[in-house]
């Protein structure tokens, strides 16, 4: 298959060209001769497929439903918005429920999904701070414990890519050291840590931070807090760019300080994503979605209904960042996070043909996963 007449989004810029796809891989960029099926992109942008490392649900289904049907439905819904790989994200629930869900995620990853690829799992909780619970269910918060972690991931430890936890809670740093040595990314989130707590936790293995600015202590000139430590260190961060969780001026500040090399765009979407306004559920709690904003009954934000195509559009329009750099934050950076950057996240010869064609307004037109066209609008 040949995709020609496209604006190819590379990591360092955008160039007109064509690509040859064979056996699910990008075989050649700008091939001189070809006799394959030809797709004329007619000037559309060609991007690596988006990768979402923090997403709970979409299309009326949630990761914590604990069924392969739910995971597959989510994968099909987000695929239509350009996401070709993702980390189904758990909630702070019982150890048994989390383990059940992890086993399902492991199964779908191994068998292959019906839409976007499942790369692993992101555990959000249960080792978080009660005072920064956000939309997590406080009933299931646990004190950090290696033994509890072992129970939670029993039989499926290899599917865990990342975990969000609060490093200031007693026992957290010991758990961070244990988990990080196994190759799992430890991310600070739902935390009331001080600047000093975060800097200390980095020495134990923290390398990431969850939904920057949200559910963490903010920046103050005398108490820099979690945000200050993120800005003053080399750890990566992720941001929900829906214009609701973080204002655009705060986004621009974050990008200037961290640079686009150290930020990932995430959706943090819940089951109401791509659905109508109404009443939904998240972590055994009622969620009310009105005008595209998801909140608990107490008013707390409860995830989002964001998709990554919209996140890219928001950042490009409001943050004065070149399109190829915005796309990098939704493709290459998360590929590195998931340790798949040797074959995903770039348009490069030999890489998986997970590709998206979109117009100048980031409207998704066609999606390819492993070289197979999965969506056409």
Query: Domain containing 22 — which CATH number?
Result: 2.30.40.10
* Rg of the chain over all Cα atoms, to the nearest angstrom: 20
For residue 293, what is the domain's CATH number?
Answer: 3.20.20.140
213 in the same domain as 164: yes
In a domain, 31, yes or no: yes
178 in the same domain as 33: no
Query: What is the total count of domains within the chain?
Result: 2
Query: Which pLDDT does position 237 carry in this prediction?
Result: 98
128 in the same domain as 24: no
Report the catalytic residues.
268
Q: Which residue is it, tokens 């939309």?
A: 135
CA-based angle 145:150:155, to the nearest 5?
Answer: 165
116 in the same domain as 189: yes
Domain with 278, as residue range(s), is: 50-344
59 in the same domain as 9: no
Query: Which pLDDT does position 355 carry in this prediction?
Result: 98
163 in the same domain as 103: yes
191 in the same domain as 96: yes
pTM for this model (two decimals): 0.97
In a domain, 352, yes or no: no
367 in the same domain as 316: no
Query: Which pLDDT does position 281 carry in this prediction?
Result: 87
Query: Which pLDDT does position 225 carry in this prediction?
Result: 98
pLDDT in tens, the chain (377 residues): 999 999 999 999 999 999 999 999 999 999 987 777 899 999 999 999 999 999 999 999 999 999 999 999 999 999 999 999 999 999 999 999 999 999 999 999 999 999 999 999 999 999 999 999 988 989 999 999 999 999 999 999 999 999 999 999 999 999 999 999 999 999 999 999 999 999 999 999 999 999 999 999 999 999 999 999 999 999 999 999 999 999 999 999 999 999 999 999 999 999 999 999 999 988 888 999 999 899 999 999 988 999 999 999 999 999 999 999 999 999 999 999 999 999 999 999 999 999 999 999 999 999 999 999 999 99
Helix (H), strand (E), coil (C) string for the chain: CEEEEEEEEECCEEEEEEEEEECCEEEEECCCCCCCCEEECCCCEEEECEEEEEECEECCEEHHHCCHHHHHHHHHHHHCCCEEEEEEEECCCCHHHHHHHHHHHHHHHHHCCCCCEECCEEEECCCCCHHHCCCCCHHHCCCCCHHHHHHHCCCCHHHEEEEEECCCCCCHHHHHHHHHCCCCEEEECCECCCHHHHHHHHHHCEEEECCCCCCECCCCCCCCHHHHHHHCCCCCEEEECCCCCCCHHHHHHHHHHHCCCCEEEECCECCCCCCCCEEEEECCEEEEEECCEEEECCCCECCECCCHHHHHHHHHHHCCCCHHHHHHCCCHHHHHHCCCCCCCCCCCCCCECCEEEECCCCCEEEEEECCEEEEEC
In a domain, 11, yes or no: yes
60 in the same domain as 34: no
In a domain, 355, yes or no: no
């Amino acid at each position: 298959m040949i995709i020609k007449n496209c604006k190819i989004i590379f990591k360092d810029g955008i160039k007109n060209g064509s690509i040859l796809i064979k056996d699910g891989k990008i075989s050649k960029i700008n091939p001189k001769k070809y006799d394959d099926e030809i797709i004329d992109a007619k000037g559309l942008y060609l991007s690596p497929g988006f990768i979402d490392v923090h997403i709970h649900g979409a299309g009326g289904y949630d990761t914590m439903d604990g069924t392969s049907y739910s995971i597959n439905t989510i994968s099909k819904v987000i695929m239509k918005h350009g996401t070709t790989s993702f980390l189904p994200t758990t909630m702070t629930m019982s150890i048994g429920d989390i383990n059940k869900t992890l086993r399902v995620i492991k199964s779908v990853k191994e068998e292959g999904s019906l839409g976007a690829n499942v790369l692993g799992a992101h555990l959000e909780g249960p080792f978080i701070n009660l005072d920064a619970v956000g939309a997590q269910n406080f009933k299931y918060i646990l004190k950090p414990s290696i033994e509890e972690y072992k129970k939670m991931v029993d039989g499926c430890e290899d599917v865990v890519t990342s975990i969000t936890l609060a490093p200031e809670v007693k026992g957290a740093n010991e758990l961070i050291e244990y988990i990080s040595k196994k190759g799992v990314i430890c991310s600070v989130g739902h935390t009331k840590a001080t600047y000093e707590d975060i800097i200390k936790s980095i020495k134990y293995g923290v390398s990431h931070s969850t939904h920057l600015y949200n559910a963490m202590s903010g920046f103050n000139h005398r108490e820099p807090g979690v945000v200050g430590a993120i800005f003053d260190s080399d750890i990566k961060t992720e941001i929900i760019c829906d214009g609701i969780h973080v204002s655009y001026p705060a986004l621009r500040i974050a990008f200037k300080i961290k640079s686009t090399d150290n930020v990932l765009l995430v959706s943090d979407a819940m089951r109401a994503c791509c659905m109508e306004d109404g009443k939904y559920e998240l972590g055994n709690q009622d969620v009310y979605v009105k005008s595209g904003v998801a909140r608990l009954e107490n008013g707390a934000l409860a995830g989002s209904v964001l998709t990554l195509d919209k996140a890219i559009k928001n950042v490009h329009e409001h943050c004065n960042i070149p399109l190829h750099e915005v796309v990098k934050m939704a493709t290459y950076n998360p590929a590195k996070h998931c340790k798949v950057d040797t074959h995903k996240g770039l348009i490069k010869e030999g890489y998986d043909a997970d590709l998206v064609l979109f117009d100048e307004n980031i409207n998704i037109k066609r999606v390819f996963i492993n070289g197979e066209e999965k969506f056409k609008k």
